[in-house]
Structure 1
Amino acid sequence: MNEINIGMVGYKFMGKAHSNAYRALPMFFPESIKPNMKMICGRNEKAVAAAAQQLGWKEYSSDWKDLLSRDDIDLVDINAPSNAHKDIAVSAAEAGKHLYCEKPLALTLDDAREMLEAAEKAGVKHMVGFNYRFTPAIMLAKKLIDEGRLGDIHHFRAWFLQDWIVDPNFPLVWRLQQEIAGSGAHGDLNAHLIDLAHYLVGDISKVVGMSETFIKERPLPDESGGLSATSGHAAEKGPVTVDDATLFLARFANGALGSFEATRFATGHRSTNSFEINGSKGSVIFDFERMNELQVFFTDDKDDVQGFRRVMATDPPHAYSDAWWPAGHPIGYEHTFTHAFVEFLAALQEDRQPVPNFSDGVKCQQVLEAVELSVKERKWIDVSSL
């Protein structure tokens, strides 16, 4: 296979990110399968037509079902709002299309499991959009852990902090409506932290959490896209039905302890995505605002030079570094999507499932729902009970 024809559902924030990644692949990863950006879909015909021209898609449609009967579509990329994921993924799998779906995989654990079952039954390749895994500095952290250089892992603490909805007059966008988004900061931000915890440390066995919605009603929006919106109806409001912030504690199956914090009300934090891992032989600290760096500490350093060191993950032998820029030149957020698609297309060439796939999405959804149940019942929840 030298080329793959792609149909994409969604054209706003994630649609731009995915389109940019597809367009970068032939230039920077010429050995990869060439993505042919065949058709983009969205409900607003005028807007999706403009997006097709802007983002580089050959055709457009206002109905995603147009992708299913076409023999010239091999892969369906789903980055529409969360409430649309299941129907599109199940239908596309039944039509024999490979699947790439943004996180969280679905609105509910049952829906996520149905998506996985459909993909497995159809025998198609499937991947979930946990793009942060493909940050070279995070991949370095994974390498240090897998090689035992941090020793036994004791702690994983992570926080994803934003402030884009602190203003009570910010409109009621779809991300603040449970029936569309599923949950708020929890499903949007904690989902990434949970997946990184699974990737780096291992399975989460028990959780206990708390959450809060600080602003209960917001103005109805005139127009929204991505993480922005406008409203001309300040007097007309609707209820916010998701969490503004969710925090939880976790026990890992291997004995490590974890803490997780996701909020959209951390003033001064535009998008602080960070974690720290402490092991018996060392520690690492990562902050996505400085995504090319990993802070590393080893206990066996000599006493007079002990301390966290800054490691730049921009040069070989760090992951993907030889595909991009000369030594010391940083990469950015958009490159994580390109790396994710490199993995997906390599999996197609090698006839294996890519990682992370829908199984990882289901495992993340299981933890998300365990935390929600813990908030409701005010007690520790065994993740495996769901």
Structure 2
Amino acid sequence: MSYNVGFIGYRFIAEAHANALARLPMFFPDAPPVNRHAIVGREEEALDAAADRLGFETVTTEWEDVLDAVDVLYNLTPNAVHPEPSIAALERDVPVMCEKPLAATLPEAERMAEAAERSDAAAATAFNYRFIPAIQHAKGLIEEGHLGEIRQVRGRYYQDWLVDPEAPWSWRNSEEMAGSGALGDLGSHTVDLLRYLVGDVVGEFDRVGGRLTTFVDERPVPGESGTRPVTVDDAYTAHVEFESGAVGTLEASRCADGHKNDHLIAVYGSEGAIRFSLDRLNELEVKTDGDRGFESVLVTEPEDPYYDHWWPPGHVIGWEHAFVHENYEFLTALDGDVEYHPNFQDGLAVQRVLDAIERSDRDETWVDV
């Protein structure tokens, strides 16, 4: 089947998904054909330019206009805009790919997950880091028992784009539009990766103790003379405990000077450990029983996940390739009518952890997820 695709949104993340769709027929010829049909946005002039650049046939400023014209809807909007278009599409049994986090708040995420349960269409949450070959290699090592009993995890995600107090205000600084700051923007990735890697072994997140911090209370508004208040966190930290009793620490910051997109995941077991850094996404550090220290494994062999579609061994891939893999898996699942993960239930599970961290910060105590 060939799919007519509609995008709501045309900036950064829309560019990443549009690039992925354009690459699919070149490198994944078994993927179902996709036609970039319609793109939705508010600014008509910028929208027309984006449609030309990203390869879309038509444009509209009203998302309702595309629901009956597309086979798949990509909701690539600010977090507060995730629920209504996604729910409307699912009520028409139109599959949805929605960017993370699933929503700005837990009640809205619950509404979306309930709509997905009622619908016959697939509902995907866009956690693209699951589809990095090194992450999938790590998951295989954990599930095969090479690390033994999982005891402890660590997740850290540092960026520095808000270090400067004069860095401009955007929707990501607004609780109304984003729900949270570094917690939802970056922490959602960390929570999802840990659920993906160790969830089958240690169970769900059980309880958390969290702290949210805002370093800069207001920021200048682009094109205006004044400022707007920052109503979300610049950084968060959390202690977590899983159903098995395994423990961990999570943290993220958008004010960590010197870190551009530094996502670290570590898993420690009774017989070994793994470490992954997004800065070196083709590598996985592995320590197994009997080794004196970590070995850095280059995950670029033809037998590694997805790599037979790309370059000769040792020729690395990059950040954008995770979107290609993600879209390949999603569209292939649609074509084969098989269950896709991460779905809206996975997105809801992540949202529950984010909400618990916020409640813990508010109540200054450990809380159940």
Same fold (TM over 0.5): yes
Q: Residue 179 of structure 1 aligns with which residue?
A: 176
3-state SS in 2 of match to 1:37: strand
2:275 to 285, 291, 294: 285
Q: Does 1:346 align with 2:345?
A: no
Question: How many Å separate the matches in 2 of 1:64 and 1:99?
Answer: 13
Q: CA deviation at 1:65?
A: 0.9
Question: How many Å separate the matches in 1 of 2:302 and 2:106?
Answer: 40
Q: CA deviation at 1:95?
A: 2.0
Question: How many Å separate the matches in 1 of 2:31 and 2:244?
Answer: 37
1:163 to 160, 164, 167: 160
Question: How many Å separate the matches in 2 of 1:94 and 1:329?
Answer: 44
Question: How many Å separate the matches in 2 of 1:328 and 1:312?
Answer: 7
3-state SS in 1 of match to 2:359: helix
Q: Does 1:243 align with 2:245?
A: no
Q: Does 1:92 align with 2:123?
A: no
Letter in 2 for 1:243: D
Q: Does 1:258 align with 2:258?
A: no
Q: Does 1:311 align with 2:297?
A: yes
Q: Residue 37 of structure 2 aligns with which residue?
A: 38
Q: Deviation per CA, 1:6-64, whole angstroms, max 9, x where unpaired?
A: 00101101010000000001110001111111111111111111000011111111111
Question: How many Å separate the matches in 2 of 1:296 and 1:331?
Answer: 20
Q: CA deviation at 1:293?
A: 0.1
Q: Residue 191 of structure 2 aligns with which residue?
A: 194
Q: Deviation per CA, 1:184-231, whole angstroms, max 9, x where unpaired?
A: 000000000000111111211000011110010111122xxxxxxxxx
Q: Residue 26 of structure 2 aligns with which residue?
A: 27
Q: Residue 272 of structure 1 aligns with which residue?
A: 262
Question: How many Å separate the matches in 1 of 2:180 and 2:349?
Answer: 17
Percentage of identical aligned residues: 45
Q: Deviation per CA, 1:109-162, whole angstroms, max 9, x where unpaired?
A: 111111111122121111101000001001111000000111111111010001
Letter in 2 for 1:214: F
Q: CA deviation at 1:316?
A: 2.1
1:375 to 358, 361, 367: 361
Question: How many Å separate the matches in 2 of 1:380 and 1:78?
Answer: 34
Q: Residue 11 of structure 2 aligns with which residue?
A: 12
Question: How many Å separate the matches in 2 of 1:74 and 1:353?
Answer: 17
Matched residue count: 365
Q: In 2, are the aligned partners of 1:217 and 1:237 still within 8 Å (CA)?
A: yes
Q: CA deviation at 1:349?
A: 2.2
Using the size of structure 1 for normalisation, the TM-score is 0.93
Q: Deviation per CA, 1:145-182, whole angstroms, max 9, x where unpaired?
A: 00011111111101000110111111111100111111
Q: Deviation per CA, 1:301-330, whole angstroms, max 9, x where unpaired?
A: 4xxxx2211111111211000000111000
Q: Residue 145 of structure 1 aligns with which residue?
A: 142
Question: How many Å separate the matches in 2 of 1:34 and 1:143?
Answer: 30
Using the size of structure 2 for normalisation, the TM-score is 0.97
Question: How many Å separate the matches in 2 of 1:158 and 1:104?
Answer: 17
Question: How many Å separate the matches in 1 of 2:315 and 2:235?
Answer: 35
Q: Residue 58 of structure 1 aligns with which residue?
A: 57
Question: How many Å separate the matches in 1 of 2:290 and 2:32?
Answer: 44
Q: CA deviation at 1:353?
A: 2.1
Question: How many Å separate the matches in 1 of 2:103 and 2:40?
Answer: 19
3-state SS in 2 of match to 1:201: helix
Question: How many Å separate the matches in 2 of 1:32 and 1:380?
Answer: 46
Q: Residue 209 of structure 2 aligns with which residue?
A: 208
Q: In 2, are the aligned partners of 1:100 and 1:128 still within 8 Å (CA)?
A: yes
Q: In 2, are the aligned partners of 1:126 and 1:353 still within 8 Å (CA)?
A: no
Question: How many Å separate the matches in 1 of 2:116 and 2:245?
Answer: 33
Q: Residue 226 of structure 1 aligns with which residue?
A: none
Structure 1's unaligned 5+ residue stretches are 223-231
Question: How many Å separate the matches in 1 of 2:116 and 2:44?
Answer: 29
Letter in 2 for 1:296: V
Q: In 2, are the aligned partners of 1:15 and 1:79 still within 8 Å (CA)?
A: yes
Question: How many Å separate the matches in 2 of 1:65 and 1:246?
Answer: 36
Q: Aligned-pair RMSD on alpha carbons?
A: 0.9
Q: CA deviation at 1:281?
A: 1.1
Q: Residue 323 of structure 2 aligns with which residue?
A: 337
Displacement over 3 Å in runs of 4+: none
Question: How many Å separate the matches in 1 of 2:34 and 2:106?
Answer: 31
Question: How many Å separate the matches in 2 of 1:316 and 1:151?
Answer: 27
Q: In 2, are the aligned partners of 1:161 and 1:270 still within 8 Å (CA)?
A: yes
Q: Residue 73 of structure 2 aligns with which residue?
A: 76
